[in-house]
């Protein structure tokens, strides 16, 4: 179970388990964690537990709520987050709340709506809501290890231009005639034929059906374009 | 044009990088414009049983019913609901009957293309996307705690990336005796591309990059579907990844076996 370790000026004062679905922090005694100090608002912040998430929300406190030094309105707590409430600090300890993907397999649980008792300024769910359209945070780092590459146009519509290849894929050539895709992958860049009767050329040689790794200075001919692939030198 | 020749379908299912076996099941029947993705869950290999049962029962029921002559749109919605109900009951009973299958269940996204329309049902967090005029749009609302958190305004879309609730679905086939299922229908346009996928894809690959792949590579659908899985695995491949791409090349009006409404109207006017 998650816990909060309360400290002031580096001295640990005690800890609290986050047992309730709604855990209030503030000066008033009604709070699950009462901190009787003038730097803390009467109802300073609340931590809501929803599934595996514990969401810290500032309740419009005078001095604000900070997480790892950054002022927040709402924040999904991560293991070892440090929360500033007035002069006090709270460390959030929850081994399960690590950034990234859960190793746990999918499980089913009751919808939030039927679990929750707190009044909600619901902005009519379903119909109008936009889905979280992003992948998990760890899904983004994998491609940042290998040096960035790009192409320089030597002939054709991209002649004289230099393009960085920072996205996972980019296509070149002429739609309906001959197209190749260059993929940015964790271990480097590769080129694959997309369409066209004749295969594109790399250094004058036709590429096969399988993806082919690109090397610095490789020259690509596709759909009437001539491009030079380059890798940026890492500092 | 028959639905088979109007639609181009490419499929893939992959274990991913981290897991040791694949509990996703995919199925298609091009002759009838049918496709589905099921992402199983539950103890040791039970998820595989659940998704496999969902796929085989759904396909069997839908094939049997769709071979009836020229079903109406509302009839297809009923068929989907009925088939989902059957699959749910069968999985639930199997789960009750054996301890090692106890608690197993599966997500489902199933589509029927018929008479220039797309009918779809979904349960859980497997998704249906549509690419139209270069824009990717998700047509299903995940039945998940994460989606509810965002819908209720508890967390922002941006916060969703660091949520720990990705694996919590609020609905699944086979977990309870009764299952709720939403069936929707939309008009199809020539040039549309539909994507059915398990969360192993959209959890690992940003929508913007799914859109990029569909837009750039659609001239080669088998390559597109491979590249989707490649991106998911390059980003970590934490889960099984399944994807079905369906591209609409032509319109596919149903052939009237007996005079339809219009036929009858014209009949009266003569």
Q: Which residues of A touch B195 (CB under 8 A)?
A: none
Inter-chain contacts counted by CB atoms under 8 A, chains A and B: 198
Nearest in space to B149 (alpha carbons), one of A83, A123, A137: A123
Give the chain A residue nearest B236 (alpha carbons): A139
Question: B241: closest CA among B224, B229, B225?
Answer: B229
Residue A69: the pLDDT is 94
Are B158 and A134 in contact (CB < 8 Å)? yes
Q: Percent helix, strand and coil across chain B, each rounded to 5?
A: 40, 25, 35
Average pLDDT, whole number, for chain A? Answer: 85
How would you class A91 by CB atoms within 10 Å of its CB: exposed for 0-12, middle for 13-18, buried for 19 or more?
A: middle
Put simply, the answer to whether B145 touches A109 (Cβ < 8 Å) is yes
Distant-in-sequence, close-in-space partners of B228: CB < 8 Å, separation ≥ 6: B12, B195, B197, B201, B205, B210, B213, B241, B243
Is the Cβ pair A105, B156 closer than 8 Å?
Answer: no
Q: Read off φ and ψ for residue B65, nearest 5 degrees.
A: -75, -35
pLDDT of residue A125: 38
- The pair of structure tokens assigned to A53 is 């998430």
How far apart (Å, rounded) are the C-alpha atoms in residues B179 and B135?
A: 32
Distance in Å, alpha carbon of A118 to nearest chain B alpha carbon: 12
Among candidate residues A86, A103, A78, the one with its CA nearest the CA of residue A7: A86
Residue A107 has a pLDDT of 72
Look at residues B62, B105, B55, B66 and name the one whose alpha carbon lies nearest to residue B80. Answer: B62
A84 vs B259: which has the higher pLDDT? A84
- Residue pair B197/B242 in contact (Cβ under 8 Å)? The answer is yes
C-beta separation of A189 from A183 below 8 A: yes
Chain B partners within 8 Å of A135 (Cβ): 161, 202-206, 235
Instruction: Label residue A124 by pLDDT band (50, 70, 90).
Output: very low
Contact B154 A55 (CB under 8 A): yes
Give the closest residue to A75 by CA, choosing from A97, A95, A102: A97
Residue B24 near residue B107, CB atoms below 8 Å: no
- For residue B114, give the 3-state DSSP assignment: strand
- In angstroms, rounded to a whole number, what is the distance separating the alpha carbons of residues A221 and A226? 5
Q: Tell me the CA distances in angstroms from A59 to A36, A63, A200, one per residue in order.
A: 17, 11, 60
Chain B residues within 8 A of A75 when measuring between CB atoms: 159
- Do A181 and B202 make contact, defined as CB atoms within 8 angstroms? no
Higher-confidence residue: A235 or B138?
B138
Instruction: Determine the pLDDT at residue A144.
Output: 62
Q: What is the pLDDT of residue A130?
A: 43
The rounded distance, in Å, linking the Cα atoms of B237 and B234 is: 7
Q: Which pLDDT score, from 0 to 100, does residue A118 have?
A: 38
The pLDDT, as a whole number, for residue B159 is 82
A112/B145 CB distance under 8 A: yes
Q: What pLDDT does residue B182 have?
A: 81
Q: Which residues contact B78 (CB under 8 A, 6 or more apart)?
A: none
Range of lowest pLDDT (A72-81, A109-118, B16-25): A109-118
d(CA A23, nearest CA chain B) in Å: 15
Which domains, ranges and CATH numbers included, belong to chain B? 3-265 (3.60.40.10)
Query: Cβ separation of A123 and B170 shorter than 8 Å?
Result: no
Are A181 and B217 an interchain contact pair (Cβ–Cβ within 8 Å)? yes
Q: Whose CA is closest to B145, among B97, B199, B189, B94?
A: B199
Q: Do A179 and B219 touch (CB under 8 A)?
A: yes
Residue B52, CA atoms < 13 Å, CB-side half-sphere = 10
For residue A120, the model assigns a pLDDT of: 39
β-sheet bridge partners, residue A11: A8
Q: How confident is the model at residue A127, as a pLDDT?
A: 38
With tokens 């659940």, the residue in question is: B50
State the CB neighbour count (10 A cutoff) for residue A158.
16
Considering only CB atoms, A108 lies closest to which of B148, B172, B213, namely B172
Low-confidence stretches of chain B (pLDDT beneath 70): 69, 256-270
Q: What are phi and psi of B210, to 5 degrees?
A: -65, -45
Out of A48, A143, A181, the one facing B216 most closely (by C-beta) is A181
ipTM of this complex prediction, to 2 decimal places: 0.86
- Report d(CA A149, CA B43) in Å as an integer: 44
Q: How many CA atoms lie within 13 A of B124 on its CB side?
A: 30
Our CA-based measurement puts residue A11 at a distance from the nearest CA of chain B, in whole angstroms, of 30
Where are the extended beta strands (E) located within A119-195? Answer: 149-155, 162-165, 169-174, 178-185, 188-195
Look at residue B67 in the predicted model and tell me its pLDDT: 86
State residue B104's pLDDT score. Answer: 93
Please list every residue in chain B whose beta carbon sits closer than 8 Å to the beta carbon of residue A104: 167
What stretch of H or E contains B37? strand B34-41
CA angle (B169, B173, B178) in 5-degree steps: 110
Give B-chain residues touching A136 at CB under 8 angstroms. 161, 166, 203-204, 238
Give me the mean pLDDT over the A63-90 stretch.
Answer: 94
- Dihedral of the CA atoms A79, A84, A89, A93 (nearest 10)? -10
Higher pLDDT, A120 or A231: A231
Q: Which of A136, A142, A174, A192 to mutate to test the interface with B (most CBs of B within 10 A)?
A: A136
Q: What is the pTM of this model?
A: 0.82
**How far B236 CA lies from chain A's nearest CA (Å)?**
6
Higher pLDDT, A41 or A107: A41
CB atoms within 10 A of CB B31: 12
Residue B166: what pLDDT?
Answer: 78
Instruction: Transcribe A176-189 into DSSP letters.
Output: TTEEEEEEEETTEE
State how far residue A60 is from chain B, nearest Cα, in angstroms.
16
């Amino acid at each position: 179970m998650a816990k909060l370790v309360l400290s002031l000026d580096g001295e640990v004062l005690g800890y609290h388990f986050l047992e309730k679905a709604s855990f209030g922090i503030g000066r008033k005694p009604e709070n699950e964690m009462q901190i009787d100090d003038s730097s803390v608002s009467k109802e300073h912040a609340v931590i809501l537990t929803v599934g595996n998430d514990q969401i810290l929300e500032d309740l419009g406190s005078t001095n604000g709520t900070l997480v790892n030094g950054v002022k927040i309105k709402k924040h999904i707590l991560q293991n070892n987050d440090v929360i500033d409430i007035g002069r006090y600090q709270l460390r959030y300890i929850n081994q399960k709340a690590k950034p990234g993907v859960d190793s746990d397999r999918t499980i089913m649980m009751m919808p939030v709506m039927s679990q929750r008792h707190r009044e909600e300024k619901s902005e009519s769910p379903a119909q109008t809501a936009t889905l979280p359209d992003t992948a998990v945070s760890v899904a983004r780092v994998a491609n940042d290890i290998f040096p960035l590459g790009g192409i320089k146009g030597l002939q054709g519509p991209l002649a004289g231009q230099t393009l960085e290849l920072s996205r996972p894929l980019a296509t070149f050539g002429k739609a309906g005639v001959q197209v190749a895709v260059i993929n940015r992958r964790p271990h480097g860049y590769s080129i694959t034929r997309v369409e066209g009767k004749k295969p594109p050329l790399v250094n004058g040689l036709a590429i096969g059906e399988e993806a082919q790794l690109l090397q610095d200075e490789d020259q690509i001919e596709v759909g009437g374009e001539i491009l030079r692939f380059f890798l940026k030198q890492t500092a | 044009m028959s639905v088979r020749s109007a639609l181009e379908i490419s499929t893939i299912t992959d274990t991913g990088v981290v897991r040791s076996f694949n509990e996703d099941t995919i199925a298609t029947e091009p002759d009838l414009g049918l496709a589905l993705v099921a992402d199983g869950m539950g103890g040791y290999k039970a998820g595989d049983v659940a998704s496999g049962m969902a796929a085989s029962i759904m396909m069997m029921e839908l094939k049997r019913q769709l071979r009836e002559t020229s079903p109406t749109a509302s009839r297809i919605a009923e068929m989907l609901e009925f088939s989902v109900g059957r699959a749910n009951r069968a999985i639930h009973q199997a789960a009750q009957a054996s301890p090692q299958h106890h608690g197993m269940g599966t997500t489902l996204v199933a589509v029927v293309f018929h008479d220039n329309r797309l009918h779809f049902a979904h349960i859980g967090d497997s998704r249906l996307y549509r690419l139209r005029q270069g824009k990717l749009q998700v047509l299903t609302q995940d039945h998940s705690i994460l989606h509810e958190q965002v819908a209720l305004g508890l967390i922002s879309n941006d916060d969703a990336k660091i949520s720990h609730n990705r694996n919590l679905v609020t609905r699944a086939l086979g977990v309870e005796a009764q299952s709720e299922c939403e069936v929707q229908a939309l008009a199809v346009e020539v040039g549309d591309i539909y994507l059915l996928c398990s969360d192993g894809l959209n959890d690992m690959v940003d929508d913007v990059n799914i859109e990029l792949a569909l837009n750039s590579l659609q001239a080669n659908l088998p390559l597109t579907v491979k590249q989707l899985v490649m991106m998911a695995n390059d980003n970590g491949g934490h889960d099984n990844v399944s994807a079905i791409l369906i591209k609409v090349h032509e319109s596919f009006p149903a052939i009237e076996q007996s005079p339809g409404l219009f036929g009858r109207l014209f009949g009266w006017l003569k």
